Structure 1
Amino acid sequence: MEKKKFIVLHRSKGFTLIEVLASIVILSTVATGIFLFFTNAMKYTTYNQGKTVAVNVARGVLAYMERLDFTALQQYVQTDMATTNKPYTEINASNCRSSLFESEQVCQAIFRPTINNIVYDETRLHVFVIPYNDTTQWDKFVQSPPTEFPASLKKKIAAETIENSDVNLQKYLLKIYVIVRWGDDDDQAEWLEGVIANETIR
């Protein structure tokens, strides 16, 4: 009787369970690191985008306010301060029907813009005008600044003093602060300050 020959195939050694688990752990660690990197990059980009938009909105408002008739604006500020008994006047989109603004539509576009599906309305955009070099009003303003002012601006005005107390400057200048909130946190706000000058001295 002829003997049958069997060929024994030796299987190559595969990965053990421990090796598979170790590779999964390493891959997960690397993937988590990459995911965190992109997540942080996205947050940083969104943060910077919010700041950039806020600054541009504030600049647009400031430029618009500078083009208004100075005498009419000054009278508006004086009347409003006498009525409200506050050391400043707040101007926002709700004031667009005032005779101070030539076009209500333009005023609404400036004071209530929609950018990246975010409406910068009265809760996000604040404009405050105060008399220039009026020491009495300035002291009141420093003692009780508007609640909309971010902490950094409150700190700045608290340290600020009127160097030139020439009362004649009040006839030709108004101080303005524009605050734009682009987030919900207190520090997520950008602000600009400026001076609006009478057309006769521009």
Structure 2
Amino acid sequence: MKFKLAKLFTHTKGFTLIEVMSSILIFSILTLGMLTVFSQAMNYTQKSKNDTIGIYAARNMMNYMEQKDFTQMNQYVTPLTADSGSKKVLEKNICLVWYPIKDTNNDGLDDNEELRERCKATFTPSINNRDFLVKVELSKHQDGELQDSLIPIKVIVNWEDDNESTLEGFITHEEYR
């Protein structure tokens, strides 16, 4: 009895073991291919979500810095040169400089405590049970005519495993707001 390949696939009594095994193999290959696509999509979505939260923290800091007094911020920038490498980095320890501990009413309460805590919360926000660290880089505007009205600002947000988001903008003088 000779084995004929044509007879193998024209058999009408049911599926042979080879046909069943080959269909399972083809189905498995297609399924694994589809699962990797979904896995990559989930990883991309998670990274996008993390970047969005980082940009949100940076935008919050940008709004906070835009509300600060221009002359107060300009005193950090004035001693700098207009070179691209010259910058002043502000971190959460600046909150004690901006809002020192004082008791003007002699009632035992710190008058600046609420403002200082808000400042610290802006520099070290906790969003979705994740801690972020925010740094602000101030530099002098390279255009001499705009140095009295704009301060370039760069907000850098870091969080777990070397993730980073950056946002750039300007602090505008109060006359132009």
Normalising by structure 2, we get a TM-score of: 0.69
Alignment match, 1:170: 147
CA contact (8 A) 1:50 1:182 kept: no
CA distance in 2, matches of 1:27, 1:54: 41
Instruction: Give the deviation of 1:66 after TM superposition.
Output: 0.6
CA contact (8 A) 2:99 2:116 kept: no
Alignment match, 2:168: 193
Alignment match, 2:48: 48
Query: Tell me, what secondary structure is at the counterpart of 2:98?
Result: coil
Unaligned residue ranges in structure 1 (runs of 5+):
1-12, 134-163
CA contact (8 A) 1:73 1:100 kept: no
Alignment match, 2:156: 179
Code of the aligned partner of 2:33: G
Instruction: Give the deviation of 1:20 after TM superposition.
Output: 3.4
CA distance in 1, matches of 2:75, 2:99: 9
Instruction: Give the deviation of 1:17 after TM superposition.
Output: 3.5
Matched, 1:98 2:97: yes
CA contact (8 A) 1:51 1:182 kept: no
Instruction: Give the deviation of 1:181 after TM superposition.
Output: 4.1
Q: 1:165 to 1:74 in 2, by over 3 A?
A: closer
Alignment match, 1:8: none
CA-to-aligned-CA distance 1:56-75 (integer Å, 9 cap, x gap): 22111111001012222222
CA-to-aligned-CA distance 1:70-107 (integer Å, 9 cap, x gap): 2222224447x69xxx8211112232222268612111
Unaligned residue ranges in structure 2 (runs of 5+):
1-12, 101-111
Instruction: Give the deviation of 1:42 after TM superposition.
Output: 0.3
Code of the aligned partner of 2:117: Q
Q: 1:52 to 1:39 in 2, by over 3 A?
A: same
**Please, which of 102, 109, 126 is the counterpart of residue 114 of structure 1?**
126
Pairwise mapping of residues 71-82 of structure 1 onto structure 2 (< 5 A)?
A: 71-78=71-78
- Percent identical among aligned pairs is 37
* RMSD, aligned CA: 2.9
Count, aligned residues: 150
Alignment match, 2:86: 87
